[in-house]
Amino acid sequence: MKKIFVLLTLIFSIAACNQSTDNTEEVLKNRIDSLEVKISETYKPGFGEFMSSIQIHHNKLYFAGENKNWELANFEVQEIMESLEDISKYCNDREESKSIQMIQPAIDDIKNAISQKNNQLFTSSYIVLTNTCNNCHYATNHAFNVVKIPDLPPFSNQSFIPTK
């Protein structure tokens, strides 16, 4: 009789564990499904938002370099690079993302000019950077989006003159 009791207890325990596992699996599956829905609905910046950010930093980069504010120029080129990396990460489903790397040599040249604190090299590298942006736009059927050397800073509340 004692053996039957132990055997029945063991069977019920195993059955209870199986039910708990099935229930746990279902709860976990529901949580995963819920998280997948949340992830799919999470805001992800679009290609245009990244490009607008690059445009602002491209503008600020110009005025930083023109004023020989090399620290700010370095910051702005890093911001451009960060946006380019984000395009590759978050917009890799866009055909245009495949062409982003064509800008890297121009970025390297402008970083070199900044590290040398060479105003003439900066100016020529900035022109190459701007032309490379337009070449990329052309290559990706966005030739209607023409970038130029800016006439005015993007913000009236920022000084581009280096602090002393």
| Top-level class of domain 48-139 | mainly alpha
| pLDDT at residue 13 greater than cutoff 80 | no
Contact residues for 127 (Cβ-Cβ < 8 A; gap 6+): 149
pLDDT for 15 equals: 57
Condensed to tens digits (0 to 9), the pLDDT of residues 21-62 reads: 568 888 888 888 888 888 888 888 899 999 999 999 999 999
- Cα distances from 85 to residues 14, 28, 54, 81, 108, in angstroms, run 52, 34, 11, 6, 15
Residue 63 CB-density burial (10 A; 0-12 exposed, 13-18 middle, 19+ buried): buried
Q: How confident is the model at residue 12 (pLDDT cuts 50, 70, 90)?
A: low
pLDDT for 33 equals: 83
Global pTM reads: 0.78
Domain residue ranges in the chain: 1-38, 48-139
CB 96 within 8 A of CB 137: no
Condensed to tens digits (0 to 9), the pLDDT of residues 110-156 reads: 999 999 999 999 999 999 999 999 999 999 999 999 999 999 999 99
Q: Give the C-alpha separation, 40 to 32, whole Å.
A: 12
pLDDT for 43 equals: 84
